[in-house]
Structure 1
Amino acid sequence: MMPPLRILLAEDEAVTRLAARALLERAGHRVVTAEDGPAAVSAAAAAFDAFDLILMDLELPGLPGDEAVRAIRLQPNGRAPRILMLTASATADGQMRCVGCGADGVLTKPLRLESLAAALGSGPQAAPSPAEPPSAGPAFEEAAIATMREMLPAARVAELIDKTAAALRQHGDALEEALRTGNRRTAATMAHRIAGVSGQYGCLALRRTARALEAGLEDGACADLPQRIGASSAALAPALEFLERCAAAARG
């Protein structure tokens, strides 16, 4: 078991940030949050010695997470806290950005306490192999919601799940519009956001298809991009139904 830590959590996606903070706090850690890159750098500068660990999302507004890490590493005031990158990216570029910015390691979303403990117990991590996202596996992870129900009041769990479903609908609409207009950059960003949110709340099939779509959109020569688009679209409705069932069960 990890000793209590003072953690700065930089994550712009509200439902992911709320779930990760709840998980960390119920495990005994003290958590300060930042919603964008400049806020993360400012928080680290204002209380540099106050943090044992910084968890930094790669894709932050205002200043990307890798650039925020570089800015924090340049700060002269006090010891440098340990920094772990958080990412849902399945692309080689995303992985290399994580390990090339001066961070001490990389955690793949969703955040899990056992993964965090393992990362803190190891030395600096090398770049993971940018393999293709797996195409098969369970559609849902009931344990992800079960863990939340064990650690949080039922009403809070239902609220978080409802917000997650709303965020996924919004991101799905934005993804569809970006694909319709041929805006691959925005579409890749939306796929990345969907992957991050869905994984935290146990929607594994949607996470897999969104990660595959993100990787395909980043690859200009991806031959099966239409199939990846179709798979991601098809996985959204079942994920929303799963979340609705979980929210109803939490309400009793």
Structure 2
Amino acid sequence: MEPSDHTEGGGLVLLIDNTFETRRASRHLLEQRGFEVIQASNGMAGLELVQRLPQSFRFVLVDLELPGLPSAAVLETLRLFRPELPVLCMGEAHAAAAAGCLTKPLREEELVAHLSAAVGSSSRWLHPAGPRSEDAVARARARFAVIGDLVEAALELARGMPEDS
């Protein structure tokens, strides 16, 4: 398959999936196309990375079935915080087909087609978007601030704990 300007050599990608094997295989496929990949094993970790590196990611690849924080909440928060950031969803065949998302395991042809559509147009989302308001954006940013504070507090506690002998 011929490379395209939008689907190769493209910068930093955030991959959010709770399954190690899926992350490994997806990372490999993305790296073969010239992308650098940062991985998160759950939605909260992915949102934290977007908060800490807000302008770094070219696009985000999110599993439809995440433990803890549901993928719908992750997608909504990403859309509120970074509305221009392309997001691709992926899932098992039945769920992915119903939602118009990539199927797992990722196939190069399918990934290239979705990337061309999403990354080629910086404001396009491959997931249905609802209405946004300034209040909703403010709430999402406040949630990110709280998440950052909680992570910082946890790190402080961890630094103060004695190491096990």
Query: TM-score under structure 2 normalisation?
Result: 0.61
Spell out, residue by residue over 1:18-73, the C-alpha distance to the aligned partner (whole angstroms, 9 max, x if none).
Answer: 11112211321100000001011111121121011100001111212221010111
C-alpha distance in 1, partners of 2:69/2:17? 12
Query: TM-score under structure 1 normalisation?
Result: 0.42
Spell out, residue by residue over 1:159-208, the C-alpha distance to the aligned partner (whole angstroms, 9 max, x if none).
Answer: xxxxxxxxxxxxxxxxxxxxxxxxxxxxxxxxxxxxxxxxxxxxxxxxxx
Match of residue 16, structure 1, among 13, 22, 25: 22
Answer 1 or 2: higher relative contact order, Cα 8 Å, separation at least 6: 2
C-alpha distance in 1, partners of 2:50/2:127? 25
5+ residue gaps, structure 2, are: 119-124, 129-165
C-alpha distance in 2, partners of 1:50/1:40? 13
Contact 2:17 2:63 (C-alpha < 8 Å) held by counterparts: yes
C-alpha distance in 2, partners of 1:66/1:29? 25
C-alpha distance in 2, partners of 1:14/1:106? 20
Q: CA RMSD in A?
A: 2.4
Cα offset for 1:126? 8.0
Match of residue 60, structure 2, among 54, 60, 63: 54
Match of residue 29, structure 1, among 31, 35, 51: 35
1:4 maps onto 2:13 in alignment: no
- Kindly indicate which of the two structures has a greater share of residues assigned to helix: 1
1:115 maps onto 2:110 in alignment: yes
User: 2:77 corresponds to which residue?
Assistant: 71
C-alpha distance in 1, partners of 2:97/2:114? 16
Letter in 2 for 1:4: G
Letter in 2 for 1:15: E
Letter in 2 for 1:3: E
Which protein is bigger by CA-based radius of gyration?
Answer: 1
5+ residue gaps, structure 1, are: 99-104, 128-252
Cα offset for 1:9? 0.4
Letter in 1 for 2:91: T
C-alpha distance in 2, partners of 1:44/1:21? 18
